[in-house]
Structure 1
C-alpha cells in the first residue's frame, strides 16, 4: 500500500450545511448563487462566470472594501453532480502559481451536507494562510445562505 505524501502546502476545511448536496452543489455551480457567498468578509464579489463541466472554467472578480481588486480563474477537471468538484485555481496576478481545489458534498441526514474542501499545491505557507482566511470567510457566508 502506498501512502500519498504531500510535497507542497495544502489546507482542508469541513463544514456541515443545512441543505441537501444538490442545493450546495448548485450554490457552487450557479453564477448568481456563487456571487452571493463567494469571498471573505470585507470583500464584494462583482463578477462570476461558471461553466461547470470537465474542461469548462470559472472566473470570479472580487473587490475589497479598500478598493483592491482580485481575480481568480480555474478549469474543472472533475464534475460529479451533487457529489464532487475538482478545479485548478490561479490568481491573475500570479498565473504561474496554479493550485488545485477539491470539494466534496456528502449527505448528512435528511437535509444536511458535509462539505469538505481540500486546497492543494499551494505555493507556500503564506498562501496557505491567505487561502485559509478566504475559504473560511467564504464558507461562513455559504453556511449563512442556508441558515
Structure 2
C-alpha cells in the first residue's frame, strides 16, 4: 500500500502446497523447473542460473511481451535441504549490470504437513531502497509473489 511515502518493509506470504517439501525445495533450485514458474503475471522466465551452494549465484532473466524485463540477481546465503533457503535478493532492470540494483533479503521456509504436503512461508524483507526509488513497483512485490506462488502451486499439483 502506498501511503504517500515509500515504505515497504517486508512482504510475507504463506501457502500450503500439495507437493512434499523436497519437491518444493527442488523447484526453487532447479533452473529447468524455475523457468516454468518464477515470473509474475504474464511475464516469462527465459533463463535461470543456480550455483547451488552457500555463496552461490542465483540469476533469473524475465521477459515481458517478448522484451527483456529484468529479473533477479541473488546470492544464496543459507541452504537447509528441504527446509529453508535464504538469499540476498536483488531486483535488476532490463539492463541488468548497467541499471540500478535494489538489494533485499528473501527467506523461504518449508515445513511438511500431516498429509504429505508443504507449508511454505515466504518473507521478503529490506524493500526500503526499492520503495524509495520505485514506490509503484514496491507496492506490487506482494502481488508478484502471489502470482508466482500460484504458478508454483499449479506446477506442484500437475
**TM-score bin, normalised by smaller chain:** 0.7 to 0.9
* Length-normalised TM-score, structure 2: 0.82
Q: Equivalent residue for 2:148?
A: 138
- Separation in 1, partners of 2:136, 2:79: 29
- Separation in 1, partners of 2:57, 2:37: 19
- Separation in 2, partners of 1:66, 1:133: 21
- The 8 Å contact of residues 8 and 139 in structure 2, kept in 1 or not, is answered as no
Give per-residue Cα distances to partners, 1:60-113, cap 9 Å, x unaligned: 000112635213100011100000000011123322x21000000000123200
Structure 2 stretches lacking a partner, 5+ long: 1-6
Please provide the CA RMSD for this pair: 1.7
- Separation in 2, partners of 1:141, 1:38: 8
- Structure 1 residue 73 corresponds to structure 2 residue 70: no
- Separation in 2, partners of 1:58, 1:11: 20
- The 8 Å contact of residues 10 and 128 in structure 1, kept in 2 or not, is answered as no
- Separation in 2, partners of 1:132, 1:25: 21
- Separation in 1, partners of 2:100, 2:123: 20
Q: What secondary structure sits across from 1:88 in the alignment? A: strand
Give per-residue Cα distances to partners, 1:30-56, cap 9 Å, x unaligned: 111111111112111100001121000
* Length-normalised TM-score, structure 1: 0.88
- The 8 Å contact of residues 8 and 138 in structure 2, kept in 1 or not, is answered as no
Q: How does 1:1-147 map to 2 (within 5 A)?
A: 9-65=9-65, 67-90=67-90, 91=92, 92=96, 93-95=99-101, 97-123=102-128, 124=131, 126-147=136-157
- Separation in 2, partners of 1:45, 1:73: 13
